[in-house]
Structure 1
Amino acid sequence: MSIDLTRETKTEQNQQVSEYINKVLSLIEKEEVNKEEAAWITKETVDGFREHVNPGFLTYRKSVTKDGQFAAVEWSDNGSCFKDVNGKEYIDCLGGFGIYNVGHRNPKVVKAVTDQLKRQALHSQDLLDPLRAMLAKILADITPGDLKYAFFTNSGTESVEAALKLAKMYSDRTTFISTTRAFHGKSLGSLSGTAKGMFRKPFLPLIPGFRHVPFGDIDMIRKTFEVCASVGEDVAAVILEPIQGEGGIILPPENYLKQVRELCDQYGSLLIFDEVQTGMGRTGKMFAAELYDVVPDIICLAKAFGGGVMPAGAIVAREEVFKSWFPNPFMHTTTFGGNPLACAAAIATIGVLIEENLPERALVVGEYFLKELKEAAKGHEDKVLEIRGQGLMIGIEFHKDEIGYEVSKGMFDRGILVAGTLINSKTIRIEPALTIGYEEVDKVISTFKEVLSLVKA
């Protein structure tokens, strides 16, 4: 097909695009839209996903919603909730896969970002940008142990990529130990550590040198260390989620993480904690590492790090590990990582977490939530296999995928968003804002109980 257009045709096309852009921008400007505008937005969204984004998303939405709700289009948010374009409000228990720890559009985070935007949005890349230095200092103060130097990213998978590269430069070793049910992202390096075959197979071969062992099996990880050492493939690092998120909210056995730390010390290997989902107060501590009294050599952060306002991530490492990047700070870079807007959001987010004691609140509210969910599930043991969690990171595992899908559909129909986990589809997650009120928690619990009674085993 020829891409050449006459000048008149091109001018006409540009005019149409310009008119469309202006209409979209005028809608963005509005706090509320009317019924006709809502209908236009919905149609454009569905058509756009079908023709220009990915029609698979529409198929997915039809599988997890009732009737025509697959076309629900979110439009605004606040606190623990969001609204669709027609004004229906939902309690958000998916939380963008755990990004809204300080709530939707937390006013302090929004203010920090807009204040920074008024002065400077992005940096020149060459001069020293102050907020990156200030945020790195804050992270050195709040992260466990002697973690000191930070590198900033835009997402969780980028944080994992940075951690893997740093580990390789530190020791020149190329073997990594990861675990079954692990999820570390989907770019090629982090995907090598991710466990689910469905995500991995189309992209094989991945980065060589990764060994997967069962999560929680300390004997297997010990034997893997021994074998790797005996064949000259010494382990560069072990990468773990302290609590597995996409694996189904899997808590580690007692002392497991401490024993992994000891093995890493014994064999001269690094310990990388992927706290992309567990970090920033989600589990009842600022970082899950603190729950288990273990200090990793590198910690990976993202998701809630940007306060649910900006995409932002980071790794923080011990000086001994990070200094391999000192001679050439351009060895690993990213254009937008650590940009002023993202740093402003992260600084404000940490401030809110500390000032409002949100990690401690997550622990208390989480204990209540977990207890009441278990109470609601009594009498439905033929449907619910287990309810488990830590803080406001809770998983409800069913005996069959189909039950989980029906529960998710029923709750969405009643104004509560939950979703399954990527590795363990039988488990739906409860990861609301850490600011969620008890009244909202009670509504989630009563809705779960109602829906559960209607679903067939």
Structure 2
Amino acid sequence: MTTPRADHQPDPAKGAAVKAADRAHVFHSWSAQELIEPLAVAGAQGSYFWDYDGNTYLDFSSGLVNANIGYQHPKVVAAIQEQAGRMTTFAPAYAIDVRAEAARLVAERTPGDLDKIFFTNGGAEAVENAVRMARLHTGRPKVLSAYRSYHGATSGAINLTGDPRRWPSDTASAGVVHFWGPYPYRSPFHSDSPEQECERALSHLADLIAFEGPQSIAAIILETVVGTAGVLVPPEGYLAGVRALCDRYGIVFVLDEVMAGFGRTGRWFAADHWDVVPDLMTFAKGVNSGYVPLGGVAISAEIAATFATRPYPGGLTYSGHPLACASAVATINAMREERIVENAADLGERVIGPALREIADRHPSVGEVRGMGVFWALDLVRSKETREPLVPYNPSAADNAPMGAFAAACKKNGLWPFVNMNRTHVVPPCTITEAEAKEGLAILDEALTTADGFTV
């Protein structure tokens, strides 16, 4: 096990009490309540967290891929404390200094003319409001989204989501039409190159628009780099092609940067890699690393003008909450001052990417490596030749045994992984050091021998 932090003293009795209280009263998301045993976490700092039994873990999941600035960053903690002493809360209809400054700092970094910021409490609410804005702006009902996607768990966002978490809540009446996005390694278009995948994916989307009726489509929403569904980096030209289709038919182009934004890909926003400007952009997570719940929609001048004299019919009691905005201001300033975005880009290009490709060469269970910055995925397979996934799509508990064994091997040696279906994602904080990254990659390398045991 990784050595526990020197200032953390194990306290198993307190850990047992925390677990008992959790089991008695907390209803957990995405879980069968009697089949889970949540880890009781005693504390966190930087890239690590620890439990009450004396075990320390290097967090290769950044919480829920949101702790971009790491845990307990002193400048952000201090900003929250200072704001709490000055003004803890105030209604969103008023002009508040820290709210205006947070909006200015976000707008300063968004591409193009996305200069108006509507604050929400998180990413799902940002998506809900972006879709509402698009429908009101165009007067059209339908929204197109990709099958391999996740956009949130609220009513509209879960219908936009493409992965299996949608299925229990899908009403089939939300005005959502799904399509296949590009995925060269498992091409739905039988492509044999990224260039061909891009061409065929755009042709598929153009056909879908034609058959759904472009006059009925309000928006196309995409994760700039698909997150939970596989860290799928779009092939060159794809996002520009979608932008062109939207321009041709007057469709609002929405980029969901909730996971990919604020340094995760080595740029402030992933869209910057391709010089594509959407009409609306959603954000959350990394804007303040989740220290206080915050999300938002960055709005183009054209869409903002729609509501210049026409009221926007939406709002939230805690929109632009002062504590959340103070943490965002401190986060963005710290990321700039400490060159945290540049650190993510450098480690991805120089350390993480090369190491993962070397690991893939050594392990028969690694089919593909893909990613950028501190946003990577290993596609695990039973056979490199057939590319059969190590576990099936949406696996049962029994089918998921290989991934469970792999995750257990990581945790045993002090690495907390992010696993989803047949993938393990390498998504540490953007603040991770080179030494920490190498520590985690070495543990990952060893744990993959467990996955290798399930290959054929």
TM over 0.5, shorter chain:
yes
Higher helix share: 1
Which residue pairs with 1:377 in the alignment?
Answer: 360
Aligned equivalents of 2:11, 2:404: Cα separation in 1: 32
Select 2:125's aligned residue among 146, 151, 158.
158
Return the letter of the residue paired with 1:80.
Answer: S
Counterpart contact for 2:159–2:169, Cα < 8 Å: no
Counterpart contact for 1:82–1:89, Cα < 8 Å: yes
Cα offset, 1:57, TM superposition: 5.5
Select 1:448's aligned residue among 402, 425, 444.
444
Cα offset, 1:124, TM superposition: 3.8
Cα offset, 1:308, TM superposition: 3.3
Deviations 1:285-322 (A, max 9, x none): 10000001100110000111123311110110112102
Which residue pairs with 2:180 in the alignment?
Answer: 214
Aligned equivalents of 2:33, 2:166: Cα separation in 1: 23
Deviations 1:43-70 (A, max 9, x none): 3334445xx5579456665xxxxxxxx4
Alignment of 1:131-150 (within 5 A): 131-150=98-117
Counterpart contact for 2:156–2:174, Cα < 8 Å: no
Aligned equivalents of 2:228, 2:311: Cα separation in 1: 33
Aligned equivalents of 2:449, 2:78: Cα separation in 1: 44
Residue 300 in structure 1 maps to residue 300 in structure 2: no
Which residue pairs with 1:205 in the alignment?
Answer: 171
Counterpart contact for 2:418–2:427, Cα < 8 Å: no
Cα offset, 1:451, TM superposition: 1.7
Aligned equivalents of 1:294, 1:55: Cα separation in 2: 34
Aligned equivalents of 1:360, 1:451: Cα separation in 2: 29
Which residue pairs with 2:262 in the alignment?
Answer: 280
Cα offset, 1:261, TM superposition: 0.5
Give the 3 Å change call, closer, same or farther, for CA 59–245 of structure 1 in structure 2.
farther
SS in structure 1 of the partner of residue 115 of structure 2 = strand
Q: Percent identity?
A: 30
Which residue pairs with 1:36 in the alignment?
Answer: 13
Cα offset, 1:129, TM superposition: 2.0
TM-score between the two structures when normalised by the length of structure 2: 0.85
Specify every segment of 5 or more residues in structure 2 that has no aligned partner in the other structure, as ranges.
1-6, 183-200, 382-389, 392-400
Which residue pairs with 1:183 in the alignment?
Answer: 150
Return the letter of the residue paired with 1:249.
Answer: V
Aligned equivalents of 2:208, 2:332: Cα separation in 1: 38
Aligned equivalents of 1:130, 1:434: Cα separation in 2: 28
Select 1:192's aligned residue among 126, 140, 159.
159
Which residue pairs with 1:331 in the alignment?
Answer: 313
Cα offset, 1:96, TM superposition: 1.6
Return the letter of the residue paired with 2:269.
Answer: F
Cα offset, 1:366, TM superposition: 1.3
Residue 72 in structure 1 maps to residue 42 in structure 2: no
Return the letter of the residue paired with 2:170.
Answer: L
Aligned equivalents of 1:246, 1:386: Cα separation in 2: 16
SS in structure 2 of the partner of residue 39 of structure 1 = helix
Counterpart contact for 1:105–1:308, Cα < 8 Å: no
Aligned equivalents of 2:135, 2:415: Cα separation in 1: 43
**Range with bigger deviation, 174-183 or 275-284:** 174-183
Which residue pairs with 1:12 in the alignment?
Answer: none
Deviations 1:17-65 (A, max 9, x none): xxxxxxxxxxxxx98674433332233334445xx5579456665xxxx
Counterpart contact for 1:100–1:433, Cα < 8 Å: yes
SS in structure 1 of the partner of residue 151 of structure 2 = coil
Cα offset, 1:83, TM superposition: 1.0
SS in structure 2 of the partner of residue 377 of structure 1 = helix
Deviations 1:220-255 (A, max 9, x none): 1111222233xx743211100111011111111220
Which residue pairs with 2:193 in the alignment?
Answer: none
Residue 224 in structure 1 maps to residue 201 in structure 2: no
Aligned equivalents of 2:312, 2:72: Cα separation in 1: 34
Cα offset, 1:165, TM superposition: 0.3
Alignment of 1:14-413 (within 5 A): 34-49=11-26, 56=31, 61=36, 70=37, 72-196=39-163, 198-216=164-182, 217-229=201-213, 233-327=215-309, 329=311, 331-367=313-349, 368-381=351-364, 383-399=365-381, 400-401=390-391, 402-413=401-412
Cα offset, 1:125, TM superposition: 4.3
Give the 3 Å change call, closer, same or farther, for CA 85–328 of structure 1 in structure 2.
farther
Aligned equivalents of 2:210, 2:417: Cα separation in 1: 42
Give the 3 Å change call, closer, same or farther, for CA 452–332 of structure 1 in structure 2.
same
Counterpart contact for 1:149–1:322, Cα < 8 Å: yes
Give the 3 Å change call, closer, same or farther, for CA 60–219 of structure 1 in structure 2.
farther
Which residue pairs with 1:19 in the alignment?
Answer: none
Aligned equivalents of 1:450, 1:34: Cα separation in 2: 30
SS in structure 2 of the partner of residue 105 of structure 1 = coil
TM-score between the two structures when normalised by the length of structure 1: 0.85
Counterpart contact for 1:166–1:322, Cα < 8 Å: no
Give the 3 Å change call, closer, same or farther, for CA 271–334 of structure 1 in structure 2.
same
Aligned equivalents of 1:219, 1:442: Cα separation in 2: 41
Select 1:430's aligned residue among 408, 426, 434.
426
